Amino acid sequence: MTISVGDRIPTITLTKVTADGPSQVSSDEFFKGRKVALVAVPGAFTPTCSARHLPGFVDKADEIKAKGVDEIAFTSVNDAFVMGAWSKASNADAITMLADGNADFAKAVGLTFDGSKFGMGERSQRYSMLVNDGVVEQLNVEAPGAFEVSSAEHLLSEI
């Protein structure tokens, strides 16, 4: 079942990319008491994700945070080392990277797709959500192949 507005984020362990290396964090702990803009992409270093999606949030990070968002986080079905390298290559210091290497989080929120025909296996759909103290306040899931409603500009217009 797909997560919806008003639902609580499921309890799952993610791998947070830190300056000291990968660090395990529970979703309960990560989202507790804060407003988080969570963005999911099919893959780090993939064309739309790298050319448009992440750069939009890097560019708009201050504006998003000025509207009361405590943290902006990106998640993808990649390991923490790939997510860390993507962050560095994209100058994305203002964005927290959450690796979902086994797609556990993507499966738990019901937002996966089969990327096997592209050699990618099971992946996260592209979406953005606003999570307030662990509860989904906004959810913007893209149609397959689209990039519109999960953009930084769209999320900003909804906050």
Q: Is residue 5 part of a domain?
A: no
Confidence of residue 49 (pLDDT cuts 50, 70, 90): low
Phi then psi for residue 138, to 5 deg, are -140, 145
Residue 66 annotated in active site: no
Residue 129 sits in a domain whose CATH number is: 3.40.30.10
Closest-CA residue to 96 (of 121, 120, 123, 69): 69
Is 157 within 8 Å of 145 (Cβ atoms)?
no
Tell me what pLDDT residue 121 has.
63
> Where in the sequence is the domain holding 78, given as residue range(s)?
13-158
Is 157 within 8 Å of 64 (Cβ atoms)?
no
Strand-strand pairing, 96-99 and 71-76: parallel
Q: Is residue 3 part of a domain?
A: no
Total structural domains in the chain? Answer: 1
Confidence of residue 77 (pLDDT cuts 50, 70, 90): very high
Q: Is the model's pLDDT at 47 over the cut of 70?
A: no
Give the single-character DSSP code of 48: H
Q: Is residue 40 part of a domain?
A: yes
Is 11 within 8 Å of 25 (Cβ atoms)?
no
Q: Which entry of 38, 41, 49, 131 is annotated as an active-site residue? A: 49
Is 146 within 8 Å of 52 (Cβ atoms)?
no
Mean pLDDT on 8-31: 95
Mean pLDDT on 111-117: 75
Tell me what pLDDT residue 125 has.
86
Q: Is residue 2 part of a domain?
A: no
Tell me what pLDDT residue 124 has.
85
Kindly state the tokens that stand for 155. Answer: 């999320």
Q: What is the pTM of this model?
A: 0.92
Phi then psi for residue 39, to 5 deg, are -120, 130
User: How far does Cα 73 stand from its chain's mean position?
Assistant: 5
The lowest-confidence range among 63-77, 84-98, 108-122 is 108-122
